Amino acid sequence: MASRNSKKILLAFDFDHTIIDENSDLYVRKLAPNEHIPENISALFSNKGWTEYMGAIFKYLHSNGTTPSEIEACMHEIPLTDGMRELFDFLSKEHIEVIIISDSNSQFIKMILENFQIEHSVTEVFTNPANFDTAGCLQIEYHHFQDWCQLSTKNLCKGHILQQYRKKREQEGCQFASVFYVGDGSNDFCPTLRLSEQDYVLPRKGFQLLKKIRNYQPENNGKDAQVKAKVFDWDTGRDILKHLREVLENI
């Protein structure tokens, strides 16, 4: 493909309910005693950002004897979304650059990508940094602190990350022919608005991103805040692969 195409495709993925068919943050809660999180920890949850909530869960799991290896085994139970194996097999051979932008954490994503042996297909992962401390407790930090985007959580503006990555790659001499943004949730809407007419947004069927795109009223948000990208909804990785192949054939 490299000889036929002078420009690359950038494929930006969300992670939970996109590459994998679960929410990794929610899934790890099964390691809690009786799979129950105490009310004082649940009260920390906020749809404006739940990094503190997850940090408290990790401390609770550790205080109840959960080990790093048990967390890793739990992550290894999570399946890829249907068709993602075929999609990643294709990505490993094609002229496509892949990044992940996720509000999960670096340890969970690393564990899962390595479990399915697809980590080498991913150029870079943007997520909340996490590491096990010397006692074996998983510690999580904000990816960044942002106060400029009302569509995003305070710890992660996916649109800003995508925009900065494209700018960096342009400075390095890489001009993308198109960007494919693949996601499912409300926090995937900000990057959707930053795509151009030459780009593609692929919201998963049955999830919030597709609903937000369908219900969006640009006249209430200014002429620049529009969904300009072509929209293709998807159900399996094979649907994404089909759209990707069609675009590549026309470059």
Residues acting as catalytic residues: 14, 16
Q: Walk across the sheet containing 96-105 and list its strands.
A: 124-128, 96-105, 8-13, 176-183, 200-203, 230-231
Per the document, the length of the chain is 251
101-130 per-residue burial string, b: 16 or more CB within 10 A, e: under 16: bbbbbbbbbbbbbebbebeebbeebbbbeb
- Taking each helix axis from N to C end, the angle separating 84-91 and 237-249, rounded to the nearest 10 degrees, works out to 30
Give residues with Cβ within 8 angstroms of 119, minimum separation 6: 110, 113
In angstroms, the Cα distances linking 221 to 6, 130, 193, 213 are 36, 36, 11, 13
Dihedral class, residue 102 (left if φ above 0, else alpha if ψ from -120 to 50, else beta): beta
